[in-house]
């Protein structure tokens, strides 16, 4: 009985922590109109530190190795003209955040129970409610009053989609559900109603991890039924997002092309070494950066975050960044294989890792906001527990 109460208590605190990590940075970012999620994350991790009864100070070899790489690339950034204080303070704070989260995650290695499933369900339906509520009313205070596509507490539809992805996949995995096609329908509806391509991709991910022997048939039927319906309702929007060329002056597309161009130019100009940690934007502006300036009357967009995380990582870490992106892809399909073909571990840590492995794919290749993002920090923290998680 005491063990059961202890598990419930730990989960309740853990649920609060995950909600805080996901929601508070976005609220601080949007309401106070900061340039990144950094300040909100600092507040959340200060809370985690103050509420932690015991912090495990044992460092894994993976964590030490990653920290050394970060230090090396911080020196590279400074050597290429980066600001010493900004680079090294960012590296230090990022390591502290990951370390604190790893310490907290170690306490979550317990069996999934009905209380846990109910709690995840509440969070999942809370996100759906926030999404549909945003179609009816907008939060009119602070920086939200200047934003057209916000979903409280998130500043943009894409930010909402990235956060929702984590809990949507977590919910589907916790329930061990084979009804992915039903669970993804509200996501597709939101994606069409917003409209927002990132949200639609979240729905595709939900379909992708469906647990049934008919998953391939369901995916093919969806491709011929659901996707044409989506295209019918948002044809102009889809074309503006999926046609990547210089003639398409959609700013989201130009930002994406700018990120890809920056990554390629950085690889070539540094012979695969990279620009160094937090040093993207230090290179000369490329063609698409100049094109964005023409469209926006001289304004720079997303030069410091690349538009999507892979662009930033490859630009700053060179070939090492390319290998990291390949690892994330391989890891995602390895997790999918476990979910598809095996009776995967009924442990909270595995569910978190599987959901995070899906979410990070979106941040890497679709829409991201740099290293100081909840999704990236959660994924790295879980990565350092990977050997333990996959041996459950």
Q: 255-304: per-residue pLDDT in tens? A: 888 999 999 999 999 999 999 999 988 888 888 888 888 888 878 888 88
CA–CA distance from 391 to each of 16, 290, 344, 388 (Å)? Answer: 27, 49, 11, 5
State in Å, rounded, how far the first CA of the chain is from the last one. 24
**Is pLDDT of 127 > 90?**
yes
46 alpha carbon, distance to own chain's centre: 21
Average pLDDT (334-348) is 80
Q: Which of 36, 11, 22 is nearest to 375 (CA)?
A: 22
Q: What is the largest CA-CA distance in the chain?
A: 66
- Residue 248 confidence class, pLDDT cut points 50, 70, 90: low
Q: 314-336: per-residue pLDDT in tens? A: 999 999 999 999 999 999 999 88
Average pLDDT (176-189) is 77
**Is pLDDT of 203 > 80?**
yes
Summary mean pLDDT of the chain: 84
125 alpha carbon, distance to own chain's centre: 19
Collapsing DSSP states into helix, strand and coil, what is residue 154? Answer: strand
Q: 353-373: per-residue pLDDT in tens? A: 999 999 999 999 998 888 999
Q: Which of 304, 303, 325 is nearest to 314 (CA)?
A: 325
Is 11 within the bounds of a domain? yes
Is 279 within the bounds of a domain? no
Average pLDDT (337-349) is 78
CA distance 167 to 163: 7
CA distance 238 to 196: 9
Q: 62-103: per-residue pLDDT in tens? A: 888 889 999 999 999 999 888 899 999 999 999 999 998 888
Q: Which residue has the higher pLDDT, 15 or 132?
A: 132
Is 269 within the bounds of a domain? no
pLDDT given for residue 94 in this prediction: 94
Is 173 within the bounds of a domain? yes
Report the percent of the chain where pLDDT is more than 90. 41
Number of domains in the chain: 1
Is 101 within the bounds of a domain? yes
**Is pLDDT of 1 > 50?**
no
Residue 102, C-beta contacts closer than 8 angstroms, at least 6 positions apart:
56, 63, 381, 384, 385
- Residue 2 confidence class, pLDDT cut points 50, 70, 90: very low
pLDDT given for residue 7 in this prediction: 41
Is 296 within the bounds of a domain? no
- Residue 246 confidence class, pLDDT cut points 50, 70, 90: low
CA distance 55 to 281: 37
| Tokens 């023409």 sit on residue | 294
pLDDT given for residue 25 in this prediction: 94
**Is pLDDT of 54 > 90?**
no
CA distance 134 to 140: 11
Element at 349 (helix H, strand E): helix 348-365
pLDDT given for residue 348 in this prediction: 81
Is 270 within the bounds of a domain? no
Is 377 within the bounds of a domain? yes
Residue 151, C-beta contacts closer than 8 angstroms, at least 6 positions apart:
130, 131, 134, 157, 159, 160
Q: Which residue has the higher pLDDT, 17 or 54?
A: 17
Report the percent of the chain where pLDDT is more than 70. 88
**Domain that residue 228 falls in:** 2-243+305-390
- Residue 10 confidence class, pLDDT cut points 50, 70, 90: very low
CA distance 157 to 18: 20
Q: What does the DSSP 8-state code read for residue 195?
A: T
């Amino acid at each position: 009985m005491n063990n059961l109460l202890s598990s419930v208590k730990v989960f309740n605190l853990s649920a609060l922590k995950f909600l805080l990590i996901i929601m508070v940075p976005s609220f601080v970012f949007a309401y106070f109109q900061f340039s990144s999620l950094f300040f909100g994350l600092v507040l959340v991790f200060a809370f985690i530190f103050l509420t932690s009864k015991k912090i495990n100070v044992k460092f894994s070899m993976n964590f030490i190795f990653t920290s050394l790489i970060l230090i090396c690339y911080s020196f590279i950034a400074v050597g290429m003209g980066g600001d010493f204080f900004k680079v090294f303070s960012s590296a230090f704070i990022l390591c502290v955040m990951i370390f604190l989260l790893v310490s907290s995650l170690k306490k979550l290695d317990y069996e999934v129970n009905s209380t846990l499933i109910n709690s995840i369900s509440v969070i999942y339906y809370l996100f759906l409610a926030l999404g549909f509520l945003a179609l009816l009313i907008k939060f009119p205070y602070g920086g939200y009053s200047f934003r057209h596509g916000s979903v409280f507490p998130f500043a943009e539809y894409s930010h909402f989609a990235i956060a929702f992805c984590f809990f949507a996949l977590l919910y589907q995995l916790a329930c061990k559900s084979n009804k992915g096609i039903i669970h993804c329908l509200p996501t597709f509806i939101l994606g069409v109603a917003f409209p927002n391509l990132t949200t639609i991709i979240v729905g595709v991910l939900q379909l992708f991890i469906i647990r049934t022997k008919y998953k391939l048939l369901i995916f093919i039927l969806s491709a011929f039924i659901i996707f044409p319906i989506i295209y019918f309702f948002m044809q102009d929007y889809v074309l503006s997002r999926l046609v990547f060329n210089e003639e398409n002056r959609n700013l989201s597309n130009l930002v994406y092309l700018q990120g890809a161009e920056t990554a390629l130019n950085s690889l070539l100009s540094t012979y695969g070494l990279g620009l160094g940690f937090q040093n993207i934007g230090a290179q000369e502006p490329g063609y698409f950066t100049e094109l964005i300036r023409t469209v926006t009357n001289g304004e720079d967009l997303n030069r410091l975050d690349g538009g999507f995380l892979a662009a930033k990582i490859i630009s700053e870490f060179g070939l090492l960044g390319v290998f990291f992106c390949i690892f994330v892809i391989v890891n995602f399909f390895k997790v999918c294989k476990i979910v598809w073909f095996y009776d995967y571990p009924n442990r909270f840590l595995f569910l978190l890792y599987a959901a995070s492995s899906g979410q990070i794919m979106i941040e890497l290749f679709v829409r991201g906001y740099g290293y100081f993002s909840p999704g990236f920090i959660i994924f790295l923290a879980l990565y350092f527990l990977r050997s333990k998680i996959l041996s459950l």
